[in-house]
Amino acid sequence: MSKANLFYAQSGGVTSVINASACGVIETARKHKDKIGKVYAGLNGIVGALKEELIDTSKESASTIAALRSTPAGAFGSCRYKLKSYQENQREYERLLEVFQAHNIRYFLYNGGGDSQDTANKVAQLSQEVGFPITCIGVPKTVDNDLPITDNCPGFGSVAKYVAVSIREAGLDVASMCESSTKVFVLEVMGRHAGWIAGAAGLASEQEGDAPHIILFPEIPFQKDKFIRKVKSCVKKFGYCAIVVSEGAQNPDGSFLADAGGKDAFGHVQLGGVAPFVAEMIKEETGFKYHWAVSDYLQRSARHIASATDVEQAYAVGKAAVEFALAGKNAVMPAIVRGKGKKYSWRIGEAKLSDVANVEKMMPRNFISRDGFHITDKGREYFAPLIAGEDYPTYKKGLPQYARLKKVLAEKKLKKWRP
Amino acid sequence: MSKANLFYAQSGGVTSVINASACGVIETARKHKDKIGKVYAGLNGIVGALKEELIDTSKESASTIAALRSTPAGAFGSCRYKLKSYQENQREYERLLEVFQAHNIRYFLYNGGGDSQDTANKVAQLSQEVGFPITCIGVPKTVDNDLPITDNCPGFGSVAKYVAVSIREAGLDVASMCESSTKVFVLEVMGRHAGWIAGAAGLASEQEGDAPHIILFPEIPFQKDKFIRKVKSCVKKFGYCAIVVSEGAQNPDGSFLADAGGKDAFGHVQLGGVAPFVAEMIKEETGFKYHWAVSDYLQRSARHIASATDVEQAYAVGKAAVEFALAGKNAVMPAIVRGKGKKYSWRIGEAKLSDVANVEKMMPRNFISRDGFHITDKGREYFAPLIAGEDYPTYKKGLPQYARLKKVLAEKKLKKWRP
């Protein structure tokens, strides 16, 4: 039998460093040609495996693969597709194993969040049962930073850096104009369930008066009166008020803030996000002139301002995943372990997929200040090293040069997949 | 009599490089201590002159002034305050001259757009008439790129780079998810009257299929059917459609696009901008899942991704303004003159304030493709060199370090200004 092949897939919302993990996987696999044959990547994630659309990464040059390290988004395509449970959709799992068998794939590396780790875990179990054992290794990724065990998730540090840099810069803009113009600025950031990203934006404020002055977390039920009082006091003290609001900010009843005012008289969903909603609320209550921004995908694809720490860690988990597989480990995920010393350090540890799957790590309450509007020193200590360092892409004619893949598909050997 | 002092003020919406011009002014003035005494900067622009709130820049260290070169927004404060005509408000002009006289100010450098150049021109004329001649030099600045004579305006190149980088990155994000998720992405950019900024975003598209696929310019009356057809054809061809829309995009009747659908049943103004409006329109017509972003102030304060060309030019116009003043010129503005060669080159030329004041330079129609949805090679040729080069600020703990000024005010000598 020829050497076993490896299948790698990207899953869920992409980040500015998930391709750095892909780079780590492929470069490491190429160093072990004695043990690993081809690295196939799923075209559009796991869907590529079901459809037998396997990108043959051996057709990509070493320099293209190296360029993945500084290319944002999912170069092989990702997807929002969660395999159902084995009980609910046995055929999907059987198909996966069939495709793996047809292409002599014995290693399955799945790069994603909690759902993906769960899928990888199930595939590991089933493959044992059917007598075609697949080594399944998870590769952590999510801007939401909500995976357990690992100290942080690759992808988070870069979005954290983007929002902190952005609110610092926009804050200076507002500060310079506030005497005669805009007094309130609201930046909406990602994080539907937890305030990790919003919290990281708090790093921008290093001295009293620095932006952001207020952070609205999903963890802290929104109290309008208290909030408006805080806005007024900031404008009085500093001349302006810069606010970061998490898209997941909630009313005391658990409904999303933006949803509350989010429908017009016909029941149409409000077009704006939570930033315009909060800005308009402030205008109504105080009369202050406002501006708002919603960076949306910009924040999670901003490779131009990625955190060097994040890029290194993203690469390292990809590399470690291959090394775990070669060391005979199975159903595990490389995790980032923070050193105990005062100076930040990290190393790669190991987490069982069964411990990672479907567990959401929330932000500790002691990262949020007592009044609920900012982060604590404890929070700062956690966030600061994750945004440290710059790792600039190469530029040509003023624009970052990102990898362009050929995406040559392996020849199909099976019948067409009919879901 | 002691050496004459210089007054410098920042005006209107700030940019990520206006402080580089301030740096050019102050550093150059400091090199000519034989001729120029102090450099005063208006606290919050021209309002600082009226209120006699003059920042004594001699109290700032050389390193702080040097740091201005890489600090976004208006470090001395700016304002949206246009002096009325002399006929309408003679007192304001008299007050300005009174303050200048009290502080022995003989040089007035005004860093702004068309309005500011107009003000500087008027002050030059009046000062002659009253027998206290002030040398008035304009310093060009505007993200809108709408000043005449000068080939481009400092501030524009950096916002242009920001939007081109951002749409490239967000485009890759959408491309990687479009198979199973978001198919349409809309980025709103500044430019209420002209599509310069939106046009520059077109640079990101270098090969067929690259984002952005569609640009909506204020110059091209919006045609819904044609637009929707184009969106559909992009999704069919490329799997997704990335759109850049200028905030000034207009209906055929000249009304702003966002205004048309901008009120709910109670007549409340729609909270969202034009991006959510366009995104929702597409959803209604095609059913495509969308995302949208509004970068607002982020784009004009994004010093972290400033164009090196822009920074150099911003510094150069500040430097040249002082040199013009010392050379005995008056009522002029340094302008950027593009060289004729194929390789981009530029030098500082000279424009009369009377020729610059209140003239808005529109984007040539031949920069926009025939179908109205993209830029031409002619446009590319113009835009490309303006975003060339990176000029990164210094980082500490993962965040850009921006100048913090002491802003020590000169002692007041006059009665309080009552407008």
The pLDDT of A31-46, averaged and rounded, is 97
| Residue A175 pLDDT greater than 80, yes or no | yes
What domains lie within chain A, and their CATH numbers?
A: 4-141+303-359+391-400 (3.40.50.450), 156-301 (3.40.50.460)
| Residue A88 pLDDT greater than 90, yes or no | no
| Residue B265 pLDDT greater than 50, yes or no | no
The predicted pLDDT at position A2 comes to 67
Summarised one tens digit per residue, pLDDT across range B314-336 is: 999 999 999 999 999 999 999 99
Q: Which residues pair with A59 in a beta bridge?
A: none
| Residue B371 pLDDT greater than 50, yes or no | yes
Summarised one tens digit per residue, pLDDT across range B161-184 is: 999 999 999 999 999 999 989 999
Helical H segments across B109-191, by residue range:
114-129, 156-177
| Residue A269 pLDDT greater than 80, yes or no | no
- C-alpha dist (Å) from residue A351 to A19, A28, A65, A298, A331: 22, 20, 27, 31, 9
| Residue A1 pLDDT greater than 70, yes or no | no
Give me the residue from A79, A271, A294 closest to B293, CB to CB: A294
Distance CA B419, CA B417 (A): 6
E strand segments, B247-330: 290-294
Find residues 212-231 of chain A whose CB sits inside 8 Å of chain B: none
- Name every chain B residue with its beta carbon within 8 A of the beta carbon of A271: 270-272, 276-277, 279-280
Distance CA B275, CA B243 (A): 9
| Residue A264 pLDDT greater than 80, yes or no | no
Of A321, A411, A418, give the one whose Cα is nearest residue A103.
Answer: A411
Summarised one tens digit per residue, pLDDT across range B210-258 is: 999 999 999 999 999 999 999 999 999 999 999 999 999 999 999 888 7
Give me the residue from A173, A294, A303 closest to B297, CB to CB: A173
ipTM of the complex: 0.97
Summarised one tens digit per residue, pLDDT across range A197-231 is: 999 999 999 999 999 999 999 999 999 999 999 99
Q: Across chain B, what does the average pLDDT equal? A: 94
Q: How confident is the model at residue B2 (pLDDT cuts 50, 70, 90)?
A: low
Summarised one tens digit per residue, pLDDT across range A350-407 is: 999 999 988 889 999 999 999 999 999 999 999 999 999 999 999 999 999 999 999 9
Summarised one tens digit per residue, pLDDT across range B284-322 is: 999 999 999 999 999 999 999 999 999 999 999 999 999
d(CA B271, nearest CA chain A) in Å? 6
Q: Given an 8 Å threshold on Cβ–Cβ distance, is B169 in contact with A81?
A: no
All residues at 6 or more sequence positions from A91 whose CB lies less than 8 Å from its CB, including other chains: none
Distance CA A169, CA A165 (A): 6
Q: How confident is the model at residue A267 (pLDDT cuts 50, 70, 90)?
A: very low
Q: Which residues pair with B107 in a beta bridge?
A: B6, B135
d(CA A56, nearest CA chain B) in Å? 17
| Residue A155 pLDDT greater than 90, yes or no | yes
Query: Helix B114-129 vs helix B90-102: angle between axes, to the nearest 10 degrees?
Result: 70
Summarised one tens digit per residue, pLDDT across range A301-332 is: 999 999 999 999 999 999 999 999 999 999 99
- C-alpha dist (Å) from residue A329 to A116, A205, A335: 18, 43, 14
* Whether the Cβ atoms of residue B146 and residue B153 lie closer than 8 Å to each other: yes
Q: Given an 8 Å threshold on Cβ–Cβ distance, is B173 in contact with A300?
A: yes
The predicted pLDDT at position B262 comes to 47
For B381, nearest residue in chain A (alpha carbons): A397
The residues of A that are catalytic are 144
* Whether the Cβ atoms of residue A135 and residue A325 lie closer than 8 Å to each other: yes
The pLDDT of A24-32, averaged and rounded, is 98
Of B64, B86, B141, B71, give the one whose Cα is nearest residue B109.
Answer: B141
- Name every chain A residue with its beta carbon within 8 A of the beta carbon of B48: none
Distance CA B151, CA B164 (A): 20
The predicted pLDDT at position A165 comes to 98
| Residue B269 pLDDT greater than 50, yes or no | no
The predicted pLDDT at position B259 comes to 75
| Residue B270 pLDDT greater than 60, yes or no | no
The pLDDT of A187-200, averaged and rounded, is 95
The predicted pLDDT at position A272 comes to 55
